Amino acid sequence: MTDLVRLALEEDIGSGDVTTRACVPESQKARGRFLAREPLVIAGLDLLREIYDERGGVDELDLVRRDGDRCHDGEIVATVSGSARTLLECERVALNFLQHLSGVATAARRFADAVAGTNCRVLDTRKTTPGMRALEKKAAAAGGITNHRMGLFDAVLIKNNHIAAAGGVRRAIERARATGLPIEIEVRTRAELTEALDAGAEHLLLDNLTPGEAAEWIREIAGRARVELSGGITLDHVAAYARTGADFVSSGAITHSAPAADISFRLELV
């Protein structure tokens, strides 16, 4: 992630942190603490080393907690000591990464907790911040859910527009088999469902059904294929979808709508 870290620092610091240079002597040393300000699941801690290294390094960095840990309000998650100027100029970038990624991890944990006790797993999606997909998916996994495909290159997901372009469900499945990759296909009607099962589909995506409708379709599938449910699934009703008998539920909200976690940085001179 060095390129992304470098870009973030260049965007924020530019030609120099004029406030810090004006107020803080170059020789001044300091230490700082990253604090959780609410209950959260921490993520993104490994980026701190990269952030400080890009600005010349620090004397000491202690990651008190690990990605995926549940943290309480007021708990220290990491400490750092070194040049006061370095700590100040890196503060916002460090917090931006930690707050956003911990927000994703915290949202993921809430989804995972909501389906506990079922045989259903929660998946993330490709609805991620451009350039940050690997980090957001890592944070989602730290929160306890399962990563879906990373991109368009590592699994086949045949959706409605692919079906239209291929000339039908069966044609799309038969052509996709040549890739040798895992294949999942979206079906929107009972006719498409029958056609997909007759074509040997092993993984079905059912989109925008109510929990009741999904349960009915899953009874008809009767174990002939794995089933993923998607389409506007939020924390409020993910448990109802998980109880339908689905193998997976997916939610873009985990990455595209997770609120930033409240994390602060407190600095003191040494």
Q: How many CA atoms lie within 13 A of 235 on its CB side?
A: 14
Residue 207's Cα: distance from chain center in Å? 21
Residues 6+ away with beta carbon under 8 Å from 269: 28, 29, 30, 84
Catalytic residue among 29, 127, 170, 226: 127
- H or E stretch covering 44: none
Catalytic status, residue 207: yes
Q: How far apart are CA 242 and CA 69, in angstroms?
A: 25
Catalytic status, residue 138: no
Catalytic status, residue 159: yes
Catalytic residue among 49, 92, 170, 243: 92
With CA atoms as reference, report the closest residue to 160 among 195, 126, 215, 207. Answer: 207
Catalytic status, residue 92: yes
Catalytic residue among 12, 46, 207, 262: 207
Q: What angle do CA 64, 93, 88 make, to 5 degrees?
A: 80
For the chain, how long is the longest CA-to-CA vector? 74
Catalytic status, residue 186: yes
Catalytic residue among 17, 54, 91, 186: 186
Catalytic residue among 70, 159, 170, 175: 159
Which positions are annotated as active-site residues? 92, 127, 159, 186, 207
